Amino acid sequence: MENNDLISTTSNIINVNEETFMSEVVEVSKTKPVIVDFWAPWCEPCKTLTPLLEDAVKSYGKELILAKIDIDQNQNIASQLRIQSIPTIYTFFEGKVVDGFQGAKSNSEIIEFVKKSASLSGPGQEVENLISSIKEFIEQRDWNSSFEISQKILEKDPENHAGFGYMIRSMIGLDKFDDTKELIDNLSPEIKNSKPVEEAISLLEISLKAFTAKGSIEDLEKKLKQEPDNLDYLLQMAIALFGIGKIEESFEMLLKSIKIDKEWNEQAAKKQLLEFFSSAGIESKETIIARKKLATLLFS
């Protein structure tokens, strides 16, 4: 098959010619970025640059297209686009050229160019799918899996606010408090002030308190055997249990405290329970069950 035929080498790397340029480049670029590589068989720099381009775009799947055009076989296109030297690389988006360069580039420069081109259409379906899947792992408190997926989200979309929010939640779940603080400190103001990240950051203090308290469980168990309705001990035990991941038991301790005295210590048990609802996740099964029980206690 000759170079000027349309050849699909991978799902997102194609060869185009004068007949297919409008449909495969201009029209497609109205919905997703298309990087166009103008090359020729005799061009030595092209032989180095094109493989680097191909490697860089492969990981983006169908959200980004690399279209290769042999200018010897397609001189009309080269003339219309005023291609005066090769390699020339253009990015088409929304039907027009929005970026490009000529000549050789380092691999890191090519990767950055491809990343910039891919970002034109936003995160895309792949990131949306990753966000959907990470919610299940957050629900299951599978923090290793959710952390790995948050990394993938940010690889695809480095400014994704939800991705950073889930990464912070996952790191807190893994008790990586120092690393979490360092990550937060290095975030840009725009990302740090976004709703998903602000909500995740608010969990850090709660989780630190619970993590610190979990070492006192044995002592608290002894105290509660002697004074099972001591509201201070119940609160401390709830915090400690939450710190070791016993969410349901923690909630039961707080609900017991509220049942004994709703107003104790300026509604300390209720306030702690609401904080833990946020940390555990509003849609978690433990939270849903405990919220129903709380409503019954408060309005009975």
For residue 243, pLDDT over 90 is answered with no
Helix%, strand%, coil% for the chain, nearest 5: 65, 10, 25
Q: Model's pTM, two decimal places?
A: 0.56
Q: What is the DSSP letter of 20?
A: T
12 and 23 assigned to the same domain: yes
- For residue 67, give the CATH number of its domain: 3.40.30.10
- Choose the catalytic residue: 14, 43, 89, 127: 43
Q: How far apart are CA 175 and CA 243, in angstroms?
A: 10
User: Is the domain of 30 the same as that of 100?
Assistant: yes
Residue 281 lies in a domain: yes
pLDDT reading at 42 higher than 50: yes
Tell me if 285 is assigned to some domain.
Answer: yes
- Cis preceding-peptide flag for 87 (omega within 30 of 0): yes
Same domain, 47 and 112: yes
- Rounded CA separation 162/154 (Å): 9
Asked if 265 and 166 sit in the same domain, the reply is no
Percent of the chain with pLDDT over 70: 95
The answer to whether position 202 is within a domain reads no
In this prediction, residue 203 carries a pLDDT of 85
- 5 pLDDT band, cuts 50/70/90, is very low
Tell me which residue range forms the domain holding 234: 213-299
Mean pLDDT of the chain: 89
**Residue 135 covered by a domain:** yes
- What distance in Å separates the CA atoms of residue 41 and residue 234, rounded to the nearest whole number? 77
Could you tell me if residue 2 is inside a domain?
Answer: no
217 and 284 co-located in one domain: yes
Can you say whether the dihedral through the CA atoms of 104, 106, 110, 113 is positive or negative? negative
| Interatomic CA distance for residues 47 and 6, integer angstroms | 20
Choose the final residue of a domain: 102, 121, 140.
Answer: 121
Statement to judge: residues 81 and 183 lie in one domain: no
Q: Are residues 17 and 107 in the same domain?
A: yes
Tell whether the model's pLDDT for residue 4 goes beyond 90: no
Which pLDDT score is estimated for 3? 39
Residues 19 and 77 in one domain: yes
Tell whether 137 and 117 lie within a shared domain: no
Q: Of 121, 138, 169, which residue constitutes the final position of a domain?
A: 121
Rounded CA-CA distance 274/251 in Å is: 10
How many folded domains does the chain comprise? 3
pLDDT confidence of residue 123: 62
23 & 116 share domain: yes
Residue, of 12 and 123, whose pLDDT is higher = 12
pLDDT in tens, 60-94: 878 899 999 999 999 999 889 989 899 999 999 98
Residue 280: pLDDT band (50, 70, 90) is: confident
Q: Is 186 found in the same domain as 217?
A: no
Is residue 59's pLDDT more than 60? yes
Q: Is the pLDDT of residue 297 over 60?
A: yes
Predicted pLDDT at 271: 94
Specify the DSSP element, H or E, that contains 92.
strand 88-93
In this structure, of 127-131, 142-146, 164-168, the range with the lowest mean pLDDT score is 127-131
**207: in domain:** no
Query: What average pLDDT does the segment 20-43 reach?
Result: 94
The burial of 133, by beta-carbon neighbours within 10 Å (0-12 exposed, 13-18 middle, 19 or more buried), is given as middle
Catalytic residue, candidates 13, 16, 36, 46: 46
Give, in order, the Cα–Cα distances in Å from 213 to each of 202, 210, 281.
Answer: 18, 5, 21
Q: How would DSSP label each residue in 156-216? A: H-TT-HHHHHHHHHHHHHTT-HHHHHHHHHTS-HHHHTSHHHHHHHHHHHHHHHHHHHGGG
Domain for residue 257, yes or no? yes
Indicate if 153 belongs to the active site: no
Q: For residue 199, is it within any domain?
A: no
Co-location of 268 and 282 in the same domain: yes
CATH number at residue 276: 1.25.40.10
Which of residues 86, 121, 156 is at a domain's end? 121
Active site residue 46: yes
1 pLDDT band (50/70/90 cuts)? Answer: very low
270-281 as b/e: b if 16+ CB within 10 A: bebbebbbebbb
